[in-house]
A and B are shown apart, each in its own frame.
Chain A
Amino acid sequence: MEGINVSEQEYKFGYVTYEEPVPLTSEFAKNLLEGKVIGNQCTKCGAKYLPPRNGCSKCFNRDLVPFEVNPEATLRAFTVIHFAPESFTDKAPYIVAVGQMENGLGVLAHLVGVTSMPKVGMQMKLVAQKLDQDRVVYKFVKA
């Protein structure tokens, strides 16, 4: 494809990769690195997806266009993980949060930088962090 400056690098999303990386996640991670949370929208029925999908699950249209999501979020639910999965043992304790974003969208991510117990309803912002050369995560911080 012309016009897009794709460094051939593949990016991985999240702290751990469990499935074979796909172009969708690599692209999502690359956008995150540029500070953008990019979802996509169906050109036929208007359904919005965050994280993005390969096709529209409502009408099976393959033609989805990217849109930038406002990173502001409200805390819907949270937990502090003390007993972690094997791959996360050295990270515990960490806070996992569900954030509500615009247009009914939302994601699950770590919440970092809080010094006391978070409060459901608090305002947050979704930010990106590069973990190493090819791995990116998003996390919530207090707004």
Chain B
Amino acid sequence: MDENVVIVGGGHSKFGKRQGLGIRELAFEAVESLLNDFKKGMEDIEASVIGIAGEEFSGQGAPAAVMQDEIGMAGKPTLRVESACATGTAAIKAAYGWIKAGFYDTVLVLGVEKMTSVSSARATELMARAGDVRWESPYGCTFPGYYALFASAHMEKYGTTKEMLSSVGVKAHHYGAKNPLAHLQKEVSLSEAMNAVPIAHPLNLYDCSLISDGASAIVLTRESLAKEFTDTPIKIKGIGSGSDTMQIAHRESLTSLKGAKIAAQKAYKMAGVGPNDIDVAEVHDCFTIAEIIATEDLEFFELGEGGPAALDQQTYIGGKIPVNVDGGLKSKGHPLGATGVSQAYEIRKQLLGEAGPRQVDGAQIGLSHNVGQSGQFVNVIIYGRD
């Protein structure tokens, strides 16, 4: 299949602490929202790829099947994809591959997670088990902890400050407050952000993404069929992926994610664009330091310049490169399996000019960067109007 693969629809549940809703209701809500601005119906979707990171949060084993049924697709092929927090983009890549291989023309990608049914301490434990359970998890390093390790090394090497970290959280909440789908829609001041309760030093509450419930969905098809679905398809121009050592202690660098650099290079090359061509980016800001490192790994800024650039508001709309202007994982929320799909949903909205008060004027090319665990999975996707 030589044609481009394009996005012809997008749906998104409200992210948040969605009491009373299980994974099937969340999945339903995202697909229902997708159908609201979709010229065709579910009967025109041939298969689905469903991304969900954990089953212990929701209690449902082999969770794709129950969602496939709830969204009326029982009988059609489905597949569950898991790559920790990079699950959503891995699902997009799998669907892209199915279409390219010629298996199906039109595929639904659904990302879902239900996390708030367990306590935060339990959720922290479940996520920490994505670290090496033989050699590292037995020391109680949490996910905020792994990124705090990166932060300490980044601060030492480049002079990155706590204020720079906090400024990333302030921006996230600034835009999240304008996003009706976001989990925590409130502004936060720099001093509030800097003085919040410590979680994993030097990271505090306002450096951490939220534990959220939510779902997001997109539909992919081949370019020649796009017009049947929408007048404004969004092209997937490039996808790159990378990984890194399982143990943090084995990393060559603790100030950069090798897998992200590899993924970015591949995606830029495939799309035939460079960092300066990107008009709007969604990066994996599971922690504030992660956004700073991401903007360096993606080459928006030189190594070590991500922190000063954040403080200088270069990642706001009107700055050098608007980043996470939907609130990011920090304020929009981070239902693990939904996140990568939600990023694609947001970039599509931006490229369609439908992002409302958060619109980046005239955005033509967008990028999403989605990281699983502490860099063991990374996908970078580049999208374009044409």
Interface of A toward B, CB cutoff 8 Å:
13-19, 22, 25, 51, 76-89, 91, 94, 96, 98-99, 106-110, 120-121, 137
Contact = CB atoms under 8 A, between A and B. Distances in A.
Interface of B: 119-122, 124-125, 128-129, 133-142, 144-145, 148-153, 156, 197-203, 247-250, 254
Contacts of A51: 134-135
B134 A25 contact: yes
A108 B153 contact: no
B140 A98 contact: no
Nearest to B127: A85
B134 A19 contact: yes
B122 to A, nearest CB: 5
Contacts, number: 117
A91 B138 CA distance: 13
B150 A108 contact: no
Given A78-B149, A96-B145, A120-B153, A86 B139 contact: no
A18 B51 CA distance: 25
Contact of B200 (A82, A99, A108, A121): A82
A82 B201 contact: yes
A87 B126 CA distance: 10
Contacts of B145: 79, 81, 96
Contacts of B200: 79-83
A15 B247 CA distance: 17
A84 B140 CA distance: 7
Contacts of B128: 85
A14 B137 CA distance: 8
Given A79-B200, A98-B149, 8 more contacts: A79-B141, A80-B198, A82-B200, A85-B124, A85-B125, A96-B141, A108-B135, A108-B247
Which residue of B120, B136, B150 has the most chain A CB atoms within 10 A of its CB atom?
B136
Given A86-B125, A98-B248, A79 B138 contact: no
